[in-house]
Structures are given as structure tokens and as C-alpha cells.
Chains A and B, each alone.
Chain A
């Protein structure tokens, strides 16, 4: 699956899940889906910027995305640690959701790179 399709699929999945959870009365879980969708949106935008700068399927674009996938979540990891120090379970959970999405994107990138062209 192309990385662009991956992002769009994930954003769509999160939105569907958010609506379903909201309807079923899982308000906070619905918000968590929104957070996930936002993170996919961020990296979708990063990918758009990357292909604009380097061109689609160019190594530079992949490197740019990989760099941002290290750089951006590092602030979330720091926020998670700060929250942990203050025993702020709610903030920890939110940061962990963002970090898990970043991990999901990384895993998908590996798969995409390994796929035969």
C-alpha cells in the first residue's frame, strides 16, 4: 500500500471508529480516535511536504519523513516522561496514544519499503 493511501485509510478508520464510539457512549475513547487521526494527519502533511520538495518515490522524501518521525514524537516522549514524573495518568495516556501511532507509521514504512515495486 502506498504511504499516502495508508494515511488516508487510517484517518478514515479513526473517523469511523470515533463516530461509532461516540454513538455508543464511549466519549473519551472517541476522543482518543480523534487524537490518533490528528497524528496521521500530521504525518500525511509531512509526507505531502516531502514529495513536494523531493518528488514522489525519491529517497529524499522517505528520509525526510523518517527524520520527522524521529523528531516530532521525541517531544511527545518527553511530555510522556514529564507526565510520568508528576503521576499525570491522563496526560501519559494521551502521549502514549500519539507515540503508538508514530510507531504504527514507522512499521508501515518498513513494510512499504520492503514491498516489491
Chain B
């Protein structure tokens, strides 16, 4: 279930009339007029709520000779709330795209012809420029501090600050005089 579907489900359940409809349908399948009579609602109001319940996947309908019958969909109701929370957001791709655009804007703003113009004041932006610089480092290779300084200096003169920040951002690891690139998740 997507995040939006989960929100729709919770909204759908947060109405007493709809809960009453579900309770009634949990007993037996029913048609609109019967539900209206039982719950003392107008047929139009019942149809309104049934539409919402159907859209949320809580109710389904089928036609008989005379009536459209409604029945409860127990499958969705057996889903635990924890399962719903753990679902990956449906808009992850949109979010990723948004992140990529933001990242490009930051890179374009702070780099010119491959050189860093200044160190961003915002941590989030600095993280992005550090990730760009760390790409110059190979995985599974140890670098001396001098090598690290030279490589960073290709991007920016203040290599000491950037080197320290790369360590604190967990992009590089250090042991003694040796540095290596940290593998991401």
C-alpha cells in the first residue's frame, strides 16, 4: 500500500458513519436502501460513504438480480498499522528526482570548471560538495595524508578543512596517516 493510500484509508476510517457501515457489512452483505434503513441515513448519504469505502479498498460491490450488494473487504482490514508505516513511500521516485535537482543546483552554484568556489555555510550543501569531491577517491584503496591533501587541493585551497569535514561526515576514514573512502549503504 502506498503512503497516499494509507492516508486515504485512515481518513476513511475516521468517520463514525463509515465505521457503522463497516460494522453492518461485517455482519452481512447489504444493498444501499437496507443500509440506509438500518443506520437511519438517507440512501444518498449511504452511497456517498460507500463510494469512499470502495475507493479505500474497504468495501466491494457486486450485482444481483435486483440490487447492487456491498460487502466488506476483510483483507485490507487485517493489515497491521505497523506494516502500513513500514511501507516505502509511493512518492520516493518524485522525492529522489527532487533531491537530484537540488543537488545539481548546489553543485552548479558552488563549482566552476571543476573548482570549488567556497565552502557552503549550510551543512546539507557542504555534504553535497564533499560527496562530489570524494568521488575522486577510489574504493578499496588507502591514501596517505599528503595524497589526500593534493587531491582535495585540486578542488579547493583549504584542503585541511575539507579533509576534516570529510572525516566528520563519514565519507573518509582515517587510521594513523592512512585514509580510505567509506563505502555507502
How far apart are A110's CB and chain B's nearest CB, in angstroms? Answer: 23
- Chain A, interface SS category: helix
Instruction: Pick from A2-10, A25-33, A38-46, A59-67 the stretch touching chain B.
Output: A25-33
| A93-B44 in contact (CB<8A) | yes
Q: Which of B10-18, B22-30, B101-109 interfaces with chain A? A: B10-18
Q: 1/0 per residue A12-56: CB within 8 Å of B?
A: 000000000000111111001000000000000000000000000
| Residues of chain A with a CB closer than 8 A to B15's CB | 25-28
How many B residues touch the partner, as a band? 10 to 19
A108 on the interface (CB 8 Å rule)? no
Residue A86 lies at the interface, judged by CB distance under 8 Å to chain B: no
The bracket for how many chain A residues form the interface is 10 to 19
B74 within 8 A of A: no
- Is B44 a contact of A90 with CB atoms below 8 Å? no
A87 to B169, CA, bound (A): 56
User: Is residue B51 within 8 Å, beta carbon to beta carbon, of the partner chain?
Assistant: yes
The 4 A-B pairs at the shortest CB distance, nearest first, are namely A93-B48, A25-B16, A89-B51, A89-B47
Footprint of A on B, CB under 8 Å?
14-18, 44-45, 47-52
11 other A-B residue contacts (CB within 8 Å) besides A25-B15, A28-B48, A93-B44? A25-B16, A26-B15, A26-B16, A27-B15, A28-B17, A28-B18, A28-B52, A29-B45, A89-B47, A93-B47, A96-B44
A–B complex contacts, Cβ < 8 Å, 18 sampled: A25-B15, A26-B15, A26-B16, A27-B15, A28-B15, A28-B18, A28-B49, A32-B45, A89-B47, A89-B50, A89-B51, A90-B48, A90-B51, A92-B44, A93-B45, A93-B47, A93-B48, A96-B44
